Amino acid sequence: MASINDIKQKFDELNDRLLKDLDFFDHLRVKSRDFSTEPDFIQSLSKDIQAGREQMPVVSPRGIDPTVYREGYIDPLIKNLGSIIQTLKPYDTDPEDDNKACGYLTLLVNAALQPAQDDVKKFLCPVQALANDLYGSFLEKRNEVGLKSPLDQACPPLIGFVAPPLSFDRRDLSGRAPMPSTFELVQMREADWLDQYGADFKVGPVLLPAGYMDNPLLWGVLGHEVGGHYVLTSDKAGKLLPQLESTVYDKVYDEMQSKKYRYAAEVAALWLYWAEEAAADVCGVLNLGPSFGIGAVSWYTAQAYRGKWGNKGELNGVFSPTNQHPIAVLIPHVIRGAVEGLKKLGQSRKVRYIAQLEEIGELYTKVDVLTFKGSKVWDNQGNDVKLPDTLPLKDMQESAHFVGHLIATVTLSELAGHDLQDLTACWTEDDEEKAINVSKILENGATPRNGKDGNNVQLIGGGLLAVIRQPRLYKPVNDLLGKSFQCK
């Protein structure tokens, strides 16, 4: 692991390498879909989806029966395709609406099409295996702690890859590349998405940007998407996430009130607004260890810029009312709180990671205040809360640290008195030792043996450690991990 003294230099070098060398949003192998309501288009697309259905693997990783993906995702998609396309049809001729319809259709169909696409499908099985491990460990832990509540999402999501819309131009700042995206079943049933046709789906998709395919180091984002969003929305009653959100609001409000903070209600409302995304980041740490957190900061300092969502060389400090992720400059502090809350990792290791996160956060923090420009959010009763124009950075960093630790450790009645760590394969000393060993193997130019040197999540954690220590090895480490995951 890089020492505290040189972590800034190492992270800066890694960031520069990512910005210079890596195309996160490769168009070439994964094409965006056109959009049309014409019968010939629908028939052709349906035929392509059927081809994907026929080439779904006979056996899915971790013993998940692949028929659940055929019957729970692809069959309802084929059955309802024409109606879904009409639902997504733009209301007018605004090009932005056309792009949105094309983007939604691409997100919906790619995971179903890609088992029949030779240059993509070789990556699907290992990425699906990681998703299955993350969600499978949650299912196993539910049984271990005796949770009996019915599940809406009884099996892992289906994984696919997406490219930017056809209109995306890296020189045009109005364009946006696709973020990693999770579509939970509750979301697919919403009126502004699939409406009544979403009810037939029993599995949701998770889509990763196309450039992730042959970059296993980036697959760690599934700790956020699958281990976070998909887990948090898994229960049929839909009560887990609302309870967590309400708890965050109440605890933050009480904490700020105890400090006699002028904007206690506003800060509590902000963290209510950000709670799901913050919790998904915390779940990434619980599942993949503290190195996930350093990778998450790298996402904001490199990919956010390349995807046209952020500024180069800094963590954003401006609130966006359309973005429910915490302001990027707060992310290192959310992660820091989560690392601090890990129950099964030794204190000396946690202290070291926390120091590194603080160093990295300082390196890319260029603001003293967070800017809100009088935006509005809401409190836990649904009432509008007007935000001040600015809030001091230090106060918000402290609140972020508090929230990260809270989400990692708070017990919830919807989890039968357990916390989220009890419902994940929570990162342990043994996991960290395995990841360190994997990082040494990779740094020596060898291929770790999947299942012997480390499991899927330990391989990802070890890979992240290797490139944190030696950023110049980013491409070789990805290539070696590809062999470990058998991306051939």
418 and 294 in one domain? yes
Task: Answer whether residue 473 is part of any domain.
Answer: no
- 308 pLDDT higher than 80: no
**pLDDT tier, 309 (very low <50, low <70, confident <90, very high otherwise):** confident
pLDDT digits 0-9 by tens, 404-413: 999 999 999 9
Q: Pick from 213, 210, 185: which is nearest to 200 by CA?
A: 185
The terminus-to-terminus CA distance of the chain in angstroms comes to 30
C-alpha 471/C-alpha 118 separation (Å) is 31
Please tell me whether residues 61 and 3 are part of one structural domain: no
The answer to whether residues 322 and 369 belong to one domain is: yes
4-8, 239-243, 481-485, range with the lowest pLDDT: 4-8
Q: How many domains in the chain?
A: 2
74 plus 88 within the same structural domain = yes
Q: Evaluate if pTM is beyond 0.85.
A: yes
Q: Please check whether residues 201 and 299 belong to one and the same domain.
A: no
CB atoms within 10 A of CB 391: 22
The pLDDT value given to residue 5: 58
> For 25-45, how does the pLDDT look when each residue is reduced to its tens digit (9 = 90+)?
766 678 767 788 899 999 999
Question: Is there a domain that residue 8 lies in?
Answer: yes
pLDDT at 284 over 70: yes
Say what the pLDDT of residue 167 is. 52
Q: Are 111 and 201 in contact (CB under 8 A)?
A: no
**394 located within any domain:** yes
CA–CA dist 257, 38 (Å, integer): 58
Q: Looking at the structure, do residues 30 and 170 belong to the same domain, yes or no?
A: yes
- Whether residues 126 and 249 share a domain: the answer is no
Examine residue 437 and state whether it is found in any structural domain, yes or no. no
The domain in which residue 255 lies consists of: 1-22+238-427
